[in-house]
């Protein structure tokens, strides 16, 4: 019987391992050297369960997009008005916010403040 304690000799563990591998490769292992090979069986979820999961994922995505759009709307309220009168796109909103922050930083760094 092999000794698998923490302080046991590595040579012993290596020899046992090599012996097991050799028997496994040649197919000559008995009951005392059985290597458990289980095939993992995956059961496909039912169509009803898949539909429920998909609906839940869609709802989470709608909620996430709604929150994101609300955040963009709040950001647009603190940015200076544009003369065009149209609502800024998401990309334009982020660009405008970046420019606005840079201009405010320059104002704060100026010697007058």
Q: Which two tokens stand for residue 22?
A: 């050799």
Q: What is the mean pLDDT of residues 94-103?
A: 96
What is the per-residue pLDDT for 84? 78
CB-based contact 76:87 (threshold 8 Å): yes
- This prediction has a pTM of 0.56
- Residue length of the chain: 113
What is the per-residue pLDDT for 26? 65
CB-based contact 34:23 (threshold 8 Å): no
Contacts with 82 (C-beta within 8 Å, 6 or more apart), sequence order: 88, 96
Q: What is the per-residue pLDDT across 43-82, written as a single tens digit (0 to 9) for each?
A: 999 999 999 999 999 999 999 999 999 999 999 999 998 7
Identify the band that residue 83 occupies on the pLDDT scale cut at 50, 70 and 90. confident
């Amino acid at each position: 019987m092999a000794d698998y304690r923490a302080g046991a000799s590595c040579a012993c563990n290596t020899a046992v391992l090599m012996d097991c591998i050799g028997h496994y490769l040649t197919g000559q292992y008995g009951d005392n050297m059985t290597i458990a090979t289980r095939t993992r069986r995956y059961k496909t979820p039912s169509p009803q369960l898949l539909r429920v999961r998909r609906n839940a994922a869609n709802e989470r995505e709608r909620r996430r997009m709604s929150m994101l759009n609300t955040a963009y709307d709040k950001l647009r309220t603190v940015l200076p008005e544009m003369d065009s009168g149209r609502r800024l796109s998401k990309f334009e909103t982020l660009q405008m916010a970046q420019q606005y922050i840079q201009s405010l930083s320059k104002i704060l760094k100026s010697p007058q403040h």
